[in-house]
Amino acid sequence: MSEHGAPLGPIEKSSVHTAGGMRVGATILGAGMALPRTVFTNADLEKLIDTTDDWIQQRTGIRERRVARREYGETTASLGARALQAALDDAGMRPTDLDQIVVATTTPDMPTPATACQIAAMLGAGTIAGFDLNAACSGFVFALNTVDALIRSGVARNVGVVGSDLITRYVDYTNRGRGTSILFGDGAGAFVIAGSDDPDRGVLARAMHTDGSRWPDLFIPRVEEDYPPDFDHEGHGVDINCLHMNGRAVFKFAVSTFSDLIQETLDKVGLRPEDVDHYVCHQSNKRILDAARERFGLPEEKLHINIDRYGNTVAASVGLCFTELKNAGRVRPGQLVMFLGFGAGLTWGSSLWRL
């Protein structure tokens, strides 16, 4: 057994795990990602809307993003399935070893079935528990907290956690949408999380918040009646099925909330900012991430940024970030990792893990 406890192996699906009074932990056994093949650069956007590569890079840190295309079979479910298969390969496990799949998404391919069901079928995972969870850009972090609790309570043992979003389906690529089209991209990230016989592995502290009164700051209306009564249509019009974002308001909210969230999470366990090995954050805007890094005096290598290549990928971003770190050999058992997300809802949340 390693210093931090060996992960428990796959279980028979029929053998329902119960904690039975024994404390168990949770461990991230594998991580994977999947991206659409089409790269959409700032230069490509310059051809469609009134913007410049310089403006986008200065205001957001983004150089390019990926855009999913149906003709390549790229859907929320198929990208999620590819990411989860990669995470299973990383963990040395098979789809049939999973007893649950939890998918964080804001953009399921259909209202029903849940994306988790489609992914289970695509991978051949058999009859397992599968459900989706929607907390927008905070979705993956909310899912990590949910899955850790399911495992510790004995409800689940080996869980596939997926964040998959094709948000560009709802982006307006005309000048009216230039505040959002520059920002968003598509992708998927996934973890395989399993029970561990070391109760000190898994979530050490968490926070999950929602201020529902702020939903008009970021929403996708399906019918005209979905608009809030006092919505200022100036510059927006009535754009059904388009992402509406009050960029300035969300930016202001994010800069203060993000730092407060880090402090709140550290306070719960009496840690200092420098005690955490990696901050794996939702990639919303490089300026928001830089502000948090500067407030806590963190070195660049502790707060991973990949928004330059993928843009804001909603529920996929945290999984994408961690997978890149893991693939680069930068994560090790025993390290402390704080996952952070915020977005539509408005929602914000953290999940501090001992790996």
Told to judge if 42 belongs to the known catalytic residues of this protein, a careful annotator would answer no
Span interacting with ligand UT7, options 84-92, 109-117, 245-253, 294-302, rule CB under 6 A: 245-253
Q: Which of 154, 247, 273, 333 binds ligand UT7 (CB under 6 A)?
A: 247
**Joined tokens for residue 281:** 């954050």
> Is the CB of 306 or the CB of 327 nearer to ligand UT7?
306
> Which residues neighbour 259 within 8 Å (Cβ) at sequence distance 6 or greater?
291, 292, 295, 296
> Is the CB of 51 or the CB of 259 nearer to ligand UT7?
51
CA torsion 8-10-14-15 (nearest 10°) is: -20
284 binds ligand UT7 (CB under 6 A): yes
315 binds ligand UT7 (CB under 6 A): no
> Is the CB of 66 or the CB of 201 nearer to ligand UT7?
66
> Which residues neighbour 136 within 8 Å (Cβ) at sequence distance 6 or greater?
106, 218, 314, 315, 343, 344, 345, 347
Span interacting with ligand UT7, options 23-31, 53-61, 90-98, 321-329, rule CB under 6 A: 53-61
104 binds ligand UT7 (CB under 6 A): no
CA distances from 327 to 2, 22, 63, 352 (A): 21, 33, 22, 20
> Is the CB of 146 or the CB of 285 nearer to ligand UT7?
285
Q: Which of 19, 55, 122, 333 binds ligand UT7 (CB under 6 A)?
A: 55
285 binds ligand UT7 (CB under 6 A): yes
C-beta pairs of 108-116 under 8 Å, 24+ apart in sequence:
108/76, 108/77, 108/132, 109/75, 109/76, 109/77, 115/76, 115/77, 115/80, 115/162, 115/164, 116/162
Angle between helical axes of 247-269 and 286-295 (0-180°, round to 10): 40
> Is the CB of 7 or the CB of 163 nearer to ligand UT7?
163
Q: How many residues sit in the footprint of ligand UT7 (CB under 6 A)?
A: 18
Backbone angles phi, psi at 221, to 5 degrees: -75, 140
Task: Decide: helix, strand or coil at residue 339.
Answer: strand
Q: Which of 79, 98, 137, 331 binds ligand UT7 (CB under 6 A)?
A: 137
Residues in contact with ligand UT7 by the rule CB under 6 A: 51, 55, 59-60, 137, 178-179, 182-183, 247-248, 250-251, 254, 284-285, 312, 343
